[in-house]
């Protein structure tokens, strides 16, 4: 078992969820409530990571954040090292690649909030922020929770985009998915099997706990 790779994957997934939680709430709510001419285009851009092969998406991110790009050059000048092939580069790639997993379920959650409930909150004098925290989020939270669970589980299993943006640097960019691939390449099927089973167990536990929590809170609200 490559514990360093596992802990790196958990760290990457945790930071990705932490960053995308507010992004999913704000963007999901905006897409759920607003109607504008380019809404279909915005939703298509958000969903693009779902249909593009990870290696293709990783290639464009590599070009966008590489040393010779404006963003890469700025990062190099500011922090003294390149962005790609670092944990920070993996985090940027993971956040961008998981936008669709984080935003779409949250959007569906906010779309399920009845319009008359939001209007009643406004008539009671609630500010938009108070309405969001006291009225909308308690009703839309199953969608937000689903978004975070999908983001966490998907980040643990990311491979193609991780390989493109980070390579396989132990302790820096070598995640559990890369470690499994390396074990298979080295014909260590026992080690690969143990790590694969660990990923399955973590993902299954996370999803099962989410369903149980959703059912419990749903009974309280009903």
Q: Most confidently modeled of 6-15, 34-43, 104-113, 202-211? A: 6-15
pLDDT, average across residues 42-55: 86
Long-range contacts of 201-204 (CB under 8 A, 24+ apart): 202/156, 203/153, 203/156, 203/157
Over residues 96-116, the pLDDT tens digits come to 999 988 998 888 888 888 777
CA distance 90 to 164: 10
Chain-centre distance for alpha carbon 70 = 25
Over residues 128-165, the pLDDT tens digits come to 778 777 788 888 888 888 888 889 988 988 888 888 88
Domain residue ranges in the chain: 3-34+42-221
CA distance 158 to 154: 6
Q: Please choose, from the candidates 20, 22, 25, 213, the residue with its C-alpha nearest in 3D space to the C-alpha of residue 137.
A: 25
CA distance 143 to 35: 20
pLDDT of residue 217: 54
Quote the mean pLDDT of the chain.
85
Over residues 167-206, the pLDDT tens digits come to 888 888 888 889 998 889 888 899 889 889 988 888 888 8
Give this prediction's pTM: 0.84
Q: Are 2 and 194 within 8 A, CB to CB?
A: no
CATH numeric code, 3-34+42-221:
1.10.3720.10
């Amino acid at each position: 078992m490559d514990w360093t790779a596992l802990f790196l994957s958990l760290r990457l997934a945790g930071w990705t969820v932490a960053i995308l939680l507010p992004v999913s709430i704000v963007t999901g709510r905006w897409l759920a409530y607003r109607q504008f001419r380019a809404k279909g285009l915005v939703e298509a851009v958000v969903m693009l990571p779902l249909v593009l092969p990870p290696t293709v998406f990783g290639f464009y991110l590599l070009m966008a954040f590489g040393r010779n790009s404006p963003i890469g050059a700025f990062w190099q000048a500011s922090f003294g090292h390149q962005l790609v092939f670092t944990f920070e580069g993996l985090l940027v790639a993971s956040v961008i690649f998981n936008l669709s997993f984080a935003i779409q379920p949250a959007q569906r959650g906010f779309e399920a909030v009845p319009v008359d409930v939001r209007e009643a909150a406004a008539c009671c004098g609630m500010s938009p922020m108070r309405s969001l925290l006291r009225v909308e989020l308690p009703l839309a939270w199953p969608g937000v929770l689903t978004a975070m669970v999908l983001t966490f589980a998907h980040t643990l299993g990311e491979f193609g985009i991780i390989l493109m943006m980070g390579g396989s640097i132990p302790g820096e960019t070598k995640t559990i998915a890369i470690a499994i691939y390396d074990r298979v390449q080295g014909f260590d099927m026992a080690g690969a099997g143990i790590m694969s089973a660990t990923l399955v167990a973590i993902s299954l536990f996370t999803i099962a706990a989410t369903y149980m929590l959703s059912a419990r809170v749903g009974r309280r609200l009903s």
